[in-house]
Amino acid sequence: MRLTLFLLMPLALVGQIRTAFSDPSAPGTVRVEIVSGSITVSGTAGSDVVVEVKGSPARTRRDSEAPAGMRRIGGGGGEVTVRESRNVIRVEAEGHTNQDLSIQVPAKTALKLETVNSGSIQIDNVEGEIEAENVNGSIKLTNVAGSVVANTLNGKIECTLTKAFPDKPMAFTTLNGAIDVTLPSDLKATLRMRSDNGDIYSDFEVNVRSERVESKSRRGWKSESTIVADINGGGPEIRLQTMNGKIYVRKK
């Protein structure tokens, strides 16, 4: 039987919480799900995960409402919880209180991050399978390695990938916003790109395999054009799609 560690601690008591993976020798997974607020994750040399709630106006106000000589220790919803089980650390916030989270993780960690409102997702210096979902905000990944599956609705997606895991497809999708990805210059990949109302740019030498353009109808049906192109001879598929925005595929 596998030993299962389980930690559950309300953050309000400490403001910052440090959690260890039950098996630090294998890359762990950090999952974050919040409804409102930003998520910033950075890879560090350490082996623990450190979660910090940045003072949001609502939170600071509530804290300041504590009577003299007392401090707010919880209640009222919106607490952030951190739990570890089988090498997965889950960070969740209850309710719709705005939470801006800043999280330090070991440099090799798989990430699954989700937020909805009033915030961006930023990831820096992490290697692993990365999944990021936002709705009303941007996604910015800097110096990440591994594989990336990212989508938002209203916001830009930026990603600088230093190294790709072999044989892992990736995807970047938004509705309203640009997609700007920088890939290793020797990356073998097949790009499937579609922007309904924006241009597509690249400094890679692309070998266009197919291009499909749908005609406009008399009442202005927006044309759909999907371009499939190989870089460095082709490889795992990278999907890039936006409706209102430009697409940039840059060579590092």
Does position 241 bind other proteins by CB under 8 A?
yes
Site string for other proteins, 134-153 (x = CB under 8 A): -------------x-xxx-x
- Contact between residue 239 and residue 192 where contact means Cβ atoms under 8 Å apart: yes
| Residue among 17 and 139 whose Cβ is closer to other proteins | 139
Cα 60 to Cα 218: distance, rounded to the nearest angstrom: 55
> Near other proteins by CB under 8 A, which window of 41-49, 61-69, 100-108, 162-170?
162-170
CA angle (176 as vertex; 171, 181 as ends), nearest 5 = 40
Least distance to other proteins, CB of residue 57, Å: 28
Q: Are 83 and 31 in contact (CB under 8 A)?
A: no
222 lies in the site for other proteins, by CB under 8 A? yes
Compute the least distance from the CB of residue 167 to other proteins, in Å: 7
Considering CB under 8 A, how many residues would be counted as binding other proteins? 30
**With CB under 8 A as the contact rule, which of the stretches 5-13, 74-82, 201-209, 239-247 interacts with other proteins?**
239-247
For residue 49, CA distances in Å to 13, 30, 98, 119, 238 come to: 17, 8, 21, 21, 30
CA atoms within 13 A on the CB side of 129: 9
Residue 72: HSE in the Cβ half-sphere, 13 Å Cα cutoff: 17
The two structure tokens encoding residue 45: 């040399």
Q: Is 195 in the site for other proteins (CB under 8 A)?
A: no
Please, which residues have CB within 8 angstroms of residue 39's CB and are 6 or more apart in sequence? 32, 101, 103, 113, 115, 119, 120, 121, 122
Binding mask 32-71 for other proteins (x = CB under 8 A): ----------------------------------------
Q: Can you tell me which of 122, 173, 182, 195 binds other proteins, judged by CB under 8 A?
A: 173
Does residue 167 belong to the site contacting other proteins (CB under 8 A)?
A: yes
Q: Which residues of 64-83 are buried (b: 16+ CB within 10 A; e: fewer)?
A: eeeeeeeeeeeeeebbbbbb
CA angle centred on 100, ends 96 and 105, rounded to 5°: 125
Piece of 7-15, 39-47, 168-176, 227-235 that binds other proteins (CB under 8 A): 168-176
Residue number, 53 or 249, with CB nearest to other proteins: 249
Segment interacting with other proteins, rule: CB under 8 A, options 48-56, 76-84, 101-109, 236-244: 236-244
Rule CB under 8 A: which residues touch other proteins? Answer: 110, 129, 131, 133, 147, 149-151, 153, 165, 167-171, 173, 175-176, 217, 219-222, 224, 236-237, 239, 241, 243-244
